[in-house]
Structure 1
Amino acid sequence: MPPPLRLRPTMLSDLDFVVTVEDDAANRPFITPWERTQHEGAVRFPDFRHFIVEAGADGSRSGFVILQGCRNPHRSVELKRIVLQSKGHGLGRACVRLLKAMAFRDLKAHRFWLDVKALNTRALALYASEGFVEEGRLRESVRLAADGADGYDSLIVMSMLDREFQARVALGQEGPP
């Protein structure tokens, strides 16, 4: 069972932590890191929701998440980024469940979507098990040029619609992780 989890709005004073977690060797292969100024913009711009993930009894910072499209007139909200320090303890699943509820209940999304690198098999399995449906692939759309690698990876676009979320709620699949 994952430790207690909560999301709180990211403050500018959290950005050193955010950049450090993003730059961690365990996370870097799976994301395209942002400059600090990009995170500052996401914290300030109303179309984004930038949150610190706090976990455990002490509420220590465990990562961060970013939603984009929160004011999208088409009600299509993107899970832009989820980056956690600790893996394999259920925090990712707990975060995804909180974010789905936020997207559909609070932001009134019609569609909640994301893209994920094909090499991130762990995340792909999590998103599929949480009801996200693969929509397509952007073949070789991101360059891999770290740790001596020089090549490309594909992005897999996945989404969930509000009616799919409501069906999962009705089936009891959207409770606590």
Structure 2
Amino acid sequence: MSSPAERIHLRPTLLSDLDYVITVENDAQNLPFITPWERTQHEGAVRFPDFRHFIVEAGVEYEPSGFVILQGCRNNHKSVELKRLVLQTKGRGRGRACVRLLKQMAFRDLGAHRFWLDVKTLNTRAQRLYQSEGFVEEGRLRESVRAGDGYDSLIVMSMLDREYQARTALGQELG
């Protein structure tokens, strides 16, 4: 049996994929953890060169399994943001495999100095994943997003290129 990293492929999102993206994003199991975008925002992310919008394909047949968005890909400060990572199926190692591929893309392909993200405090599963993958908490944006009848805070996390290189030297990254 192949490892999760071998079963994951990131394919550039096409405009024809956006119905799928909107469906995954608005799935009841994903809604508590993200703030959905309008279709026009996804269209912009597909078209605008500062973004990278991908369909996550997984399994033997590389079936659509979710999507990811990177922002700041042409940022002069070399600070790339993991804007969104949304998967249909949880608990199969696909999130970890995606994060590893995205770190490799950010640092190796895009020449990032800093790769960062924010995650809602209620999304403890994602927080554990990011921490285990070497992301460091930088701070919190207190009660910065609506969550039901109240607010949730965002945890800002990042990894620097030297931290990624150290993890790579230790065999903790794809290389």
Does the TM-score normalized on the shorter chain lie above 0.5? yes
Residues 1:33 and 2:36 aligned together? yes
Aligned to 1:172: 171
- 2:90 corresponds, among 68, 87, 101, to 87
Aligned to 1:12: 15
User: Alpha-carbon deviation of 1:37?
Assistant: 0.6
How high is the TM-score relative to the length of structure 2?
A: 0.97
Aligned to 1:158: 157
The within-5 A match list for 1:127-146 is 127-145=130-148
Q: Deviations over 1:10-67 (max 9, x none)?
A: 0000000000000000000000000011000000000000000000111100000000
Identify unmatched segments of 5+ residues in structure 1: none
Whole-angstrom CA distance in 1 between matches of 2:45 and 2:77 = 20
- 1:126 corresponds, among 124, 129, 135, to 129
User: Alpha-carbon deviation of 1:127?
Assistant: 0.1
The within-5 A match list for 1:54-65 is 54-65=57-68
2:95 partner amino acid: G
2:138 partner amino acid: E
How high is the TM-score relative to the length of structure 1?
A: 0.96
Aligned to 2:45: 42
- 1:108 corresponds, among 101, 107, 111, to 111
Aligned to 2:19, the other structure's residue is in SS state helix
User: Alpha-carbon deviation of 1:97?
Assistant: 0.1
Whole-angstrom CA distance in 2 between matches of 1:88 and 1:5 = 14
User: Alpha-carbon deviation of 1:8?
Assistant: 0.5
Aligned to 2:45, the other structure's residue is in SS state helix
Contact 2:70 2:83 in 1 (8 A): yes
1:140 partner amino acid: E
Contact 2:54 2:68 in 1 (8 A): yes
Whole-angstrom CA distance in 2 between matches of 1:175 and 1:166 = 11
Aligned to 1:97: 100
Moved over 6 A (4+): none
Q: Deviations over 1:108-160 (max 9, x none)?
A: 00000000000000000000000000000000111112xxxx11100000000
Identify unmatched segments of 5+ residues in structure 2: none
2:22 partner amino acid: V
Identical pairs, percent: 80
Aligned to 2:92, the other structure's residue is in SS state coil
Tell me how large the CA RMSD over aligned residues is: 1.0
